[in-house]
Structure 1
Amino acid sequence: MLQIAVVDDEREQRTLLEDCLHRYERENGVSFGIVSCGDAQEFLRQDPGGFDIVLLDIQMPGLDGMAAARQLREQNRRLVLIFITNMAQFAIEGYAVDAMDFILKPVSYYRLAASLTKARGRLQTEAGVALVLHTKDGTYHLDSARVHYIEMFNHHTIFHTEDGVFDTTGSLKKLEEQLAGQSFARCNNGYLVNLRYVRGVEGSDVVVAGDRLLISRTRRKAFLQRMSEYFGGQ
């Protein structure tokens, strides 16, 4: 069951969103755990890292939605952020917190339903694969969802992750096959990138969790297409 939070200071707006979520449950045969909160600061005190999707207003008294989103990202890189707002100009700023969507008020059920379907698809893609890494220091179990990117260098396979860097051996091609269906794509022959951590493309580089990786000319078209599909929720 997906856990969804509705965070908006307007009671009528929260009720509208909850009604839309219940309608989506009925029409799609799914169940949600729904929590509603009228204050962003209070929400952040309620262990928000356990949610899968957060519907978040931007303009709220006290801590606004954008500031709350930055704190949420520190606790949970995987959750899907959907901003509910009447301020379209915040869309560009939202990329910094990896917001999946912006829905303008007044909220249409069909617009929200399309966004929820997109969010469910992304979460399914990012569910992660259990990896076993054998290094000179020991054996580690790692969720692929926590991998920023995998690097092949001098016959070493190097995992750059949320938990640090792990130096192993193995084939990047075999890892690519193992991670098929997940949110990974090759930007060149030496890197397999988790699109979840991509922050942008600058010239011939892709920025992944703060690191710049070269996009090769031969892989550029396919890589950018894969990025477009991922961020478009296809």
Structure 2
Amino acid sequence: MRIAIVEDDDKAANQLKKCIQHYATKHQLTIDILVFNDGVQITSAYPDNLDIIYFDVQMPVMDGMTAAKKIRQHDPQVLIVFLTNYVQYAIDGYEVQAADFLLKPVTEFSFSAHFDKLRARIGNHDRFVTVKHGDEIDKIILSDLYYIESAGHYLNYHTKDKVYKTIGSLKNASKDLADAHFFRCNYGYLVNLALVTSVSSNTVHVGPFDLQISRSRKKDFMAALANYLGTAEL
């Protein structure tokens, strides 16, 4: 696992690095840690094969949110976590699909629970579902699946490249994908929470798609999204 820390405060960077190393030792993980002093450093020489980036939100030269937006343009898979003293930045994190937010100062206790969630998400990167139509079977990687749409007795799987149509029910799809962080925003749509970019009023923006959130499901949907992003306690 390869992790980057982007933090202008050496003391804070070293504390986070210590938490990561202690977790890795306890769970027998091999982890490579890279440290950058500001957003310019990591965006100008972006490392290969990063799994997680920890961004301090407030930094001189280039802040963490600006750097995260630049990185997200060409790396949709890396998990982004923001380090901040201010909980209001959690809302801005929707735009870059932030995986979590850690309030400073980071402690080993809070970090352990946080990193357990990240490891589960990394494990889901290669998960897939199979969709059968006619005599063909297609394999759909979950990280490419924006949402599933109910259309009568059929389901439409909307991905980055195409739409796959198959016989099925959204109820069964919801059960199958519950542990992969898919949640219904209304009667007809099952949304990949990992690909939500923002929510405005009664609309959830999932990649290039704008989907309606029903009034009856909005409270539960927003709770599921907040829980997924790790902001329920904020």
Q: TM-score band, normalised by the shorter chain?
A: 0.7 to 0.9
Counterpart amino acid of residue 165 in structure 2: T
Question: For residue 141 of structure 2, what is the aligned residue in structure 1?
Answer: 143
How far did residue 71 of structure 1 move? Answer: 1.6
TM-score by length of 2: 0.77
1:1-234 equivalences under 5 Å are 2-48=1-47, 50-86=49-85, 90-124=89-123, 126-133=124-131, 140-153=138-151, 155-161=153-159, 163-173=160-170, 174-216=172-214, 219-220=217-218, 222-232=220-230
Change (3 A) 1:209 1:49: farther
Measured in 2, the distance between the counterparts of 1:191 and 1:90 equals 28
**Deviating runs (4+, > 6 A) in structure 1?**
none
CA drift of 1:181 comes to 1.9
CA deviations 1:129-184 (Å, max 9, x no partner) are 32345679x865431121110112355532222x2232422213454444342111
CA–CA distance in structure 1, aligned partners of residues 83 and 201 of structure 2: 32
Q: Is the 8 A contact 1:152 1:158 kept in 2?
A: yes
Residue identity matched to 1:101: D
Give, in whole Å, the separation in 2 of the partners of 1:108 and 1:198: 29
Unaligned 5+ runs, structure 1: none
The residue identity in structure 1 corresponding to 2:39 is A
| CA distance in structure 1 between the aligned counterparts of 2:200 and 2:66, rounded to whole angstroms | 25
Is the partner of 1:127 in helix, strand or coil?
Answer: coil
The question of whether the paired residues in 1 share the 8 Å contact of 2:94 and 2:198 is answered with no
- AA partner of residue 70 (structure 1): K
| Number of residue pairs aligned between Structure 1 and Structure 2 | 230
- 2:98–2:229 CA contact under 8 A, matched in 1: no
Equivalent residues of 2:96, 2:197 under 8 A apart: no
Q: Which amino acid aligns with 2:167?
A: G
* CA offsets 1:6-60 (integer angstroms, 9 cap, x no match): 1223444333322221122233443322222234333234444622221112333
Question: For the residues of structure 1 that align with 2:231 and 2:26, how far apart are their CA atoms?
Answer: 20
Consecutive unaligned residues of structure 2, counting only runs of 5 or more, are none
Aligned partner of 2:168: which letter?
Answer: S
Would the aligned equivalents of 1:49 and 1:75 in 2 still touch at CA under 8 Å?
Answer: no
Question: CA-to-partner distance for each residue in 1:172-213, whole Å, 9 max, x for gaps?
Answer: 345444434211122333222111122444444433225332
Normalising by structure 1, report the TM-score.
Answer: 0.77
Structure 1 residues 216 and 63 mapped into 2: Cα distance closer, same or farther (>3 Å)? Answer: closer
Report the AA paired with residue 227 of structure 1: L
Q: 1:215 to 1:49 in 2, by over 3 A?
A: farther
Contact 1:25 1:31 in 2 (8 A): yes
